[in-house]
């Protein structure tokens, strides 16, 4: 946690940024949401690849393609259940001790 004078300075900077350029401040505030969306898109594409490997392995008779597709699918399923079970919040400096 930041010392009080640094927290105060950070709040002042945030307020000035909000007053001077509200669009940029909104983009900066959404940074964590954009990162989470990008991460989910990557996981979905990886899952599609794993399913395609499983299907290709079954129809071509290639056991290794099927095996690695199944391993990838299992790892991705585990990532989904652990990563997105609870929403993650990005801590904002200087906000921890304030009452809501």
Mean predicted confidence (pLDDT) in 1-29: 83
Nearest-angstrom CA–CA distance, 66 and 63: 5
Confidence category of residue 64, pLDDT binned at 50, 70, 90 = very high
Structure tokens at 51: 């399913």
First and final C-alpha spacing in the chain: 18
Structure tokens at 67: 């095996």
Region class of 88: left (phi > 0), else alpha (psi between -120 and 50), else beta: beta
Distance of alpha carbon 10 from the chain centroid: 25
* Of 26 and 64, the one with more pLDDT: 64
> Which pLDDT does position 100 carry in this prediction?
43
């Amino acid at each position: 946690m930041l010392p009080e004078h640094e927290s105060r300075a950070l709040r002042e900077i945030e307020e000035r940024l909000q007053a001077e350029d509200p669009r940029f401040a909104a983009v900066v505030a959404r940074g964590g949401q954009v990162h989470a969306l990008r991460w989910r898109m990557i996981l979905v594409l990886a899952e599609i690849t794993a399913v395609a490997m499983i299907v290709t392995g079954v129809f071509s008779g290639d056991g290794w393609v099927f095996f690695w597709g199944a391993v990838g699918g299992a790892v991705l399923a585990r990532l989904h259940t652990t990563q997105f079970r609870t929403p993650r919040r990005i801590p904002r400096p200087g906000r921890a001790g304030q009452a809501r």
